Amino acid sequence: MTRVLDQQSRYWLLVMPALLLMTVFYVYPLIQVLWISVTEPEPGLGNYAELFTSGFLHKIWWTTTRICTLTTILTVVLGYIVAFAMAHVRERQMTAMMFCILLTFWLSVLIRAFAWVMLLRTNGMINDLLMAIGLTDEPLRLSRNEFGVVVGMVHFMLPLAILPIYANLRGISPSYVSAARGLGASARQAFLGVYLPLSKPGIISATMLVFVFSLGFFITPAILGGGKVVMISEYIRVAFEETLLWGKATMLATSLLFAVLLVLAVVGRFVDLRKVFGAT
C-alpha cells in the first residue's frame, strides 16, 4: 500500500513543473482576464449585459456560429473520406498522402489565405477556367464573402480532422467488417452498421477539435471575407488593441471560453470525453 502511494506521489512530482507553469502563465492571466471583465469600466456585470442587449454582438455571434458549424461539417465529412482512403491504401501511398497533408499543415495561414484569394478572385484561375469551359458567362463571386471564408477555413482545418480520424480508423480491425460481410451484410450495411459506429470517437474528436479551433479564427475571415465577415475573435482584437475597451474585450474572450466549455459539456453528456481525447 505504501509503495503504491509512493509511486503516486512520484507521479505527482513529475506533473508538478508543468502544473506550476500552467498556473503561473495560463491560469493566472486567465483569472486576470475574468477580473477585468467584471471590473471595467465599472464593477458589475455590465459588460455581460451587452451580450443580451447588443444587436451587433448577436450578429457577430451568429456569424461565428454559422461559419464554424458549416466549416466543421464540411471538414469532418471531407476529412473522413481522406482518412478512410489512407487507412485502406498501401503503406507507401499512405506515407505519400500523409506527407501532402502535413505539408499544407505547416504552411502559414497567411500564405494559404492569399493563395486562395489568387484562385478565387474575380479574374482568378477558377473563374477563368469556369468561363473558358462555358459553365458561366460572368465571373462568380467566390471570394471576399462567406463562401471564400468557408473554403479557406475548411482547407486550413482539414489536417486537424484527418489526423484524429485516421488514428481511430487504423485501430479498427478489418476482421470486423469481414465478419459482417461473411454473415451476409452488404458492403453498405457493413459500413453503416459496423465500421461507422466504431469510428465514432474519431469523428467526435475531429468535430470538437475543428469547431473549437474555428471559433478563434480571424485572419482567414479578414482576408477571404474582404473585411466584411467579422467573427468574434476579430471583434475582441479591435476592442483590445484599437478601442482599448478591455472590459468588453475580456468579456467576449471569457464568453468565448465558456462557449467552448459549453460545447464540451454538451458533448460530454453523450460520449465519454476521456475516450475521445485518448485518455483511456
Whole-Å CA distances, 83 to 76, 80, 164, 171, 187: 10, 5, 9, 12, 18
- φ, ψ at 143 (rounded to 5°): -125, 180
Taking CB under 8 A as the rule, does residue 250 contact other proteins? no
**Nearest distance from residue 178's CB to other proteins, in Å?**
39
Query: Which range binds other proteins by CB under 8 A, 58-66, 167-175, 183-191, 267-275?
Result: 58-66
Which of 70, 245, 264, 267 touches other proteins by CB under 8 A? 245
Taking CB under 8 A as the rule, does residue 93 contact other proteins? no
**Nearest distance from residue 218's CB to other proteins, in Å?**
6
Taking CB under 8 A as the rule, does residue 44 contact other proteins? no
Taking CB under 8 A as the rule, does residue 155 contact other proteins? no
- φ, ψ at 142 (rounded to 5°): -100, -25
Which of 53, 108, 175, 280 touches other proteins by CB under 8 A? 108
Taking CB under 8 A as the rule, does residue 145 contact other proteins? yes
Taking CB under 8 A as the rule, does residue 63 contact other proteins? yes
Taking the C-alpha atoms of residue 243 and residue 241, their distance in angstroms, rounded to an integer, is 6
Residues in Cβ contact with 168 at an 8 Å cutoff, skipping those fewer than 6 apart: 199, 201, 202, 203, 205
* Torsion 33-230-217-108 (CA) sign: negative
Cell numbers for 175, please give them: 476482421
Taking the C-alpha atoms of residue 28 and residue 22, their distance in angstroms, rounded to an integer, is 8
Query: Which range binds other proteins by CB under 8 A, 127-135, 174-182, 183-191, 238-246?
Result: 238-246
Taking the C-alpha atoms of residue 193 and residue 265, their distance in angstroms, rounded to an integer, is 27
**Cβ-based nearer residue to other proteins, 148 or 202:** 148
Binding residues for other proteins, total number by CB under 8 A: 45
List residues binding other proteins (CB under 8 A): 29-30, 32, 56, 59-60, 63, 108-110, 113, 121-123, 144-146, 156, 213, 215-220, 222-223, 226-230, 233, 235, 237-238, 240-246, 253, 256
